Amino acid sequence: MLLTVFTPTHDPQHLGRLAESLRRQSVQSFEWVIVPNGTVRADDISLRLPQIRVVPYRGATQNIGEIKRFCGAQSHGEILVEVDHDDELTPDALQHIADAFDVDPHPDFVYSNCCEVQDGQPWMYSSEFGWEYRPFRWNGTDLQECVSFDPCPASFSRIWYAPNHVRAWKRSFYEAVGGHDPTLAVLDDQDLICRSYLRGRVRKVDRCLYIYHVHPGNTCKGPVNAFIQEETLRLHDRYIYGLVERWCDLNGLRKIDLCGGLNSAAGYESIDLQRAHITADLNRRWPFDDEEVGLFRAHDALEHLHSPLFTMREAFRCLAPNGWLLTLTPSTDGRGAFQDPTHVSYWNSNSFWYYTRAEQARFIGTPVKFQLVRIKNYFPTPWHETHLIPYVKADLLKYSGRVPGPIEFPHHAPPDGQSHSAGNGELESVVPLL
């Protein structure tokens, strides 16, 4: 199996470090495609490694997505391995990648753990955001291996928690999904990772295969960082429904559309809240077993149910561990919440505090404990804006175990006074009172 390591570079000063890590690989059946771009010329790269092919990018784009897709097109290997020019691989990295692709069912996308290093010292993120570390010895230095999150919508949808390096794709799959998006100047990796989850099989290698060097020249540093912070949320909004639906399919869980003012989405079972042939009264116990649903889609739905507390309890009861409640609701910050005579409950972004924050939850005594993954106030269309009808979008996760992002409920007895500790620092699923 031939592997292609591809590396675009606009500044080849670090390539020697990467070349040395490739020279030490336990398997040598690979090629290394280096694509100089910007002002870098092929003559500027004087490395001596038999696997190297230097293929200059002749275009004028500043979009890294275009340059990476060009890298993929120049590659001959069955497996494409993306490596940044300023980082390095551990000696057995390519062997573990090859082994991962050789296990049934054969994956389409593989990623690993990594160590992040600044000036030779560990670079770490707070455990409050779900990060876990374990010791890793590298070149005589004690580092910390960052344990990547398992494949899930909450990590793949946001670059902050998305699979870090090393990243590798089956070449045929990479081409089938279109490779890196050539229109993207940043977050081309997040976009492709989302598409990889949606259309392929994903495997995490629970080993450190990559050493990521943190320095002022990283893409995530400087003025572009503010744009990245906003753009990653836009990509979350674009992909989260598809990611959650895919997760439901992979885990054999139901997808339920609580129909309100919008038509039912394709691929969902639906319960209509407004038509005469209502098949279920959602103001009573919902017609689902405990933990059998992976996704509730609630567009223009919550405001048609009398008791917000009962609604949230039932959604929580029916959702499987790490299931999702994705909502769009007319906000009381505008006219839409009150103008419709069929609306019987009222919501805004603060309303979700009582199910996602311990401080507010204690006032209503609810054991419902969601993670608030995304909250946004916006106008769905220009018509809504003209008529002062803002909506609140809230993406809620019934978290279980280790999940990416902050969880605002502390790990102690919940407000109802009953202990739900799992005994290992995690919270058990809670069946709400009816």
Are 47 and 16 a contacting pair, CB within 8 Å? Answer: yes
Are 9 and 64 a contacting pair, CB within 8 Å? Answer: no
Residue 427 per-residue DSSP state: B
The angle that helices 188-199 and 64-74 make with each other, rounded to 10 degrees, is 60
14 C-beta neighbours (distance < 10 Å), count: 17
**Exposed e or buried b per residue across 162-179, where buried means at least 16 C-beta atoms within 10 angstroms of its C-beta:** bbbbbbbbbbebbeebeb
Q: Which of 384, 380, 361 is nearest to 430 (CA)?
A: 361
Q: Which residue has the higher pLDDT, 387 or 42?
A: 387
Indicate the pairing of strand 3-9 with strand 30-36: parallel
- % of residues, the chain, pLDDT over 70: 88
Residue 10 per-residue DSSP state: S
What is the structure's pLDDT at 226? 87
Tokens of 146: 């960052």
The residue to which tokens 């030779």 are assigned: 120
Are 186 and 231 a contacting pair, CB within 8 Å? Answer: yes
- Superfamily (CATH H level) for 253-397: Vaccinia Virus protein VP39 (3.40.50.150)
Average pLDDT, the chain: 89
Triad 6, 175, 75: Cα angle to 5°: 30
pTM > 0.85: yes or no: yes
Q: How many CA atoms lie within 13 A of 236 on its CB side?
A: 24
What is the structure's pLDDT at 189? 96
> Could you please report the per-residue DSSP string of 297-363?
EEES-GGGSS-HHHHHHHHHHHEEEEEEEEEEEEBTTSSHHHH-TT--S-B-GGGGHHHH-HHHHHH
What is the structure's pLDDT at 272? 61
* Residue range 164-201, pLDDT digits in tens: 999 999 999 999 999 999 999 999 999 999 999 999 99
Query: Which amino acid, one-letter code, is at 21?
Result: S
pLDDT class for 367, splitting at 50, 70, 90?
A: confident
3-state secondary structure of 49: coil
pLDDT class for 217, splitting at 50, 70, 90?
A: low
* Residue range 34-81, pLDDT digits in tens: 999 888 888 889 898 999 999 999 888 889 999 999 999 999 999 999
Tokens of 424: 């290992």
Are 85 and 137 a contacting pair, CB within 8 Å? Answer: no
Instruction: Please check the confidence at residue 277 and state whether its pLDDT lies above 60.
Output: no
Q: Which of 2, 53, 19, 14 is nearest to 168 (CA)?
A: 2
Which CATH architecture describes the domain 3-112+158-209+216-235? Alpha-Beta Complex (3.90)
Domain ranges of the chain: 3-112+158-209+216-235, 253-397
